[in-house]
Homo-oligomer: A and B are copies of this chain.
């Protein structure tokens, strides 16, 4: 099979990671690369690591350029996917790495993002219960946010064993913020410093984590979510805790939940996840324990926010939607040290 793909938003970090992965995908032929303000410039100016595509000139993100491909990946700022997606026919597999189609609740969308809800698409986290089947043969995929990916995988197996209120503190590298030219994202500011942002439940990924855990639990799960920015380009380490209400052996619950998953790995006891170990890979590393003094579950999970947290998930969902082996072109081996 040769799948002809296009990437809208090829000059950004998500777009670059999609192309890095797709260059190594054996069934893919890379077609149109488009951008917004960077249209008309060569890819090398934005993605110096993608040398084989370096002299490709970025086109405008429009129907003319994107039509005629088997798969279109949208790696656009939120609010920009809906319009172009609506123009792409139902014969094209459209995979949206942005937020536009993730939330099922229109009111939640309006509260957190503002503007009109574009509707929801099949949610691209195949490791959630029942979700893999939804993604087979779909023509539309909403790729999860990076924090919701790692938080949901960390807590989903436990939602039946805990009070329905969880605490997530997720430390992240800077690439999750994209290439925005903001002073606080300058290297001089980031290196040697830690900072919190989106504190007090104000980060837009909060309702997405809530949606995922509530759906799995079959009741509302409240989420206290705080992201922290740390000095590294890639990687999220999430610490997730909740009060246990069950005497079940949590370790065996997690072992069972992820026994057959190719990308979610419960580490052997005594080993703790690090983001360095999953750099550039589609793997999620997990460890679970119980703080007996508080009867509190503690789950730590590591993910590469650009890979499994965004572009890797997109490729995984493409594989599922096209009927390819789910792991095609994806690795579980990180680039370390």
Partner of A192, one of B182, B191, B237, B268: B191
Q: Which residues of B contact A182 (CB under 8 A)?
A: 181
Q: Is A67 engaged at the interface, CB distance under 8 Å to the other chain?
A: no
Partner of A194, one of B188, B199, B275: B275
Q: Is A185 engaged at the interface, CB distance under 8 Å to the other chain?
A: yes
Q: Is A91 engaged at the interface, CB distance under 8 Å to the other chain?
A: no
Contact A171 B230 (CB under 8 A): yes
Q: Answer whether A44 and B268 are a contact pair too, CB < 8 Å, given A188-B233, A234-B337, A241-B226.
A: yes
Q: Is A336 engaged at the interface, CB distance under 8 Å to the other chain?
A: yes
Chain B residue nearest to A206 (CB atoms) is B293
Q: Which residues of B contact A281 (CB under 8 A)?
A: 49
Partner of A165, one of B224, B239, B294: B294
For the complex formed, measure the closest distance between the CB of A201 and the CB atoms of chain B, giving whole angstroms.
4
Q: Which residues of B contact A273 (CB under 8 A)?
A: 195-196
Q: Is A24 engaged at the interface, CB distance under 8 Å to the other chain?
A: yes
For the complex formed, measure the closest distance between the CB of A187 and the CB atoms of chain B, giving whole angstroms.
3
For window 36-62 of A, CB contacts with B under 8 Å fall at 44-52, 54-55
What mask results when residues 279 to 296 of chain A are scored 1 for a CB within 8 Å of chain B, else 0?
111010101011111101
Contact A298 B224 (CB under 8 A): yes
Contact A24 B333 (CB under 8 A): yes
7 contacting pairs across A/B (C-beta < 8 A): A49-B333, A51-B332, A52-B333, A167-B224, A174-B187, A191-B232, A191-B233
Q: Which residues of A contact B (CB under 8 A)?
A: 13, 16, 20, 23-24, 44-52, 54-55, 165, 167, 169, 171, 173-175, 177, 179, 181-183, 185-197, 199-201, 206, 222-224, 226, 228, 230-237, 239, 241, 265, 267-268, 271-281, 283, 285, 287, 289-294, 296, 298, 300, 302, 331-337
| A-B contact sample (19 more), CB < 8 A, given A171-B228, A192-B276 | A51-B283, A51-B332, A54-B268, A169-B169, A171-B230, A177-B188, A179-B183, A187-B190, A191-B232, A191-B337, A193-B235, A194-B232, A195-B275, A197-B272, A199-B289, A200-B290, A201-B294, A224-B241, A231-B231
